[in-house]
């Protein structure tokens, strides 16, 4: 288990050179029915689905993994762009910021979502590449790849896993409160916004 840091990192927009996104319900919508998914694979209500699958015996794990992937691919087919996503990505491209995605999704579902909504983002890091969030491994790999300090990257997501990932990598974070119940996670975020386009003035202001 990844140990979780206790406080969000202070955000200084004058230092930000990279913006990394969660995928589901951050850039592109997700309507995964986790209650039904858990029932299908026998996962208890309070358990993390991916952790549960990883701990199953090999044959059961393979079957459960395929069920999870099937749910993710079906979810991708019924997804939509989140408000402000295109506008923000256009500004980031214009300002030549580094951009990437770190998702707990499988690579196939992530690729399908991006192609379906005509988003060109690279790299896209999925659970096949590094340990799943809240592990900081994927963020640390991006920092090394781009030769950046942690304070020069901000991770944007809609869920507490995303904020814990940023804290563990010692990077600032932004919570997008697309889901009203997720506002309680604000204490773990360096910044909280209601939609992605609210980040545009911060980027433009400090260029």
Pairwise CA distance, residues 157 & 189, whole Å:
10
Q: Quick one: which H or E segment has residue 36?
A: helix 34-41
Pairwise CA distance, residues 182 & 173, whole Å:
14
Strand partners, 98: 18
For 195, the token pair is 């939609």
Tally of CB atoms within 10 A around 63:
13
């694979």: which residue's tokens? Answer: 41
Closest by CA position to 163, among listed 5, 34, 1 = 5
Closest by CA position to 160, among listed 129, 139, 145, 181 = 181
- Sorted by sequence, the CB contacts under 8 Å of residue 99 that are 6+ apart come out as 18, 19, 20, 21, 89, 92, 93, 121
Average pLDDT rounded to a whole number, residues 97-116:
94
Average pLDDT rounded to a whole number, residues 71-82:
91
For 149, the token pair is 């300090």
Higher-pLDDT residue of 35, 10? 10
Average pLDDT rounded to a whole number, residues 140-165:
96
Pairwise CA distance, residues 182 & 175, whole Å:
9
- Sorted by sequence, the CB contacts under 8 Å of residue 108 that are 6+ apart come out as 69, 72, 73
Give percent of the chain above pLDDT 90: 62
Q: Residue 47: which pLDDT band, with cuts at 50, 70 and 90?
A: confident
- Sorted by sequence, the CB contacts under 8 Å of residue 4 that are 6+ apart come out as 134, 164, 167, 168
Q: Specify whether the CB–CB gap between 199 and 193 falls below 8 A.
A: yes
Average pLDDT rounded to a whole number, residues 127-143:
92
pLDDT of residue 22: 97
């214009």: which residue's tokens? Answer: 94
Domains and their CATH numbers in the chain: 13-29+81-205 (3.40.50.1000), 34-77 (1.10.260)
Pairwise CA distance, residues 134 & 26, whole Å:
16
* Full-model pTM: 0.87
- Sorted by sequence, the CB contacts under 8 Å of residue 114 that are 6+ apart come out as 28, 101, 120, 121, 124
């Amino acid at each position: 288990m990844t140990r979780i840091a206790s406080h969000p990192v202070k955000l200084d927009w004058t230092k930000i050179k990279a913006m990394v996104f969660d995928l589901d319900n951050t850039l592109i919508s997700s309507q995964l029915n986790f209650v039904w998914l858990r029932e299908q694979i026998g996962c208890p209500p309070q358990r993390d689905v991916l952790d549960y699958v990883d701990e199953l015996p090999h044959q059961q794990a393979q079957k459960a993994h395929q069920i999870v992937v099937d749910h993710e691919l079906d979810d991708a087919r019924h997804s939509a762009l989140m408000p402000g996503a295109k506008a923000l990505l256009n500004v980031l491209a214009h300002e030549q910021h580094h951009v990437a995605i770190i998702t707990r999704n499988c690579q196939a579902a992530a690729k399908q979502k991006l192609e379906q909504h005509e988003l060109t983002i690279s790299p896209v890091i999925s659970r096949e590449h590094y340990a799943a969030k809240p592990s900081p491994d994927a963020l640390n790999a991006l920092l090394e790849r781009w030769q950046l300090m942690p304070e020069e990257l901000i991770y944007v997501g809609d869920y507490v896993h995303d904020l814990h990932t940023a804290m563990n990598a010692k990077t600032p974070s932004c919570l997008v409160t697309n889901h009203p119940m997720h506002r309680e996670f604000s204490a773990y975020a360096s910044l909280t916004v209601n939609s992605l386009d609210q980040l545009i003035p911060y980027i433009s202001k400090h260029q």
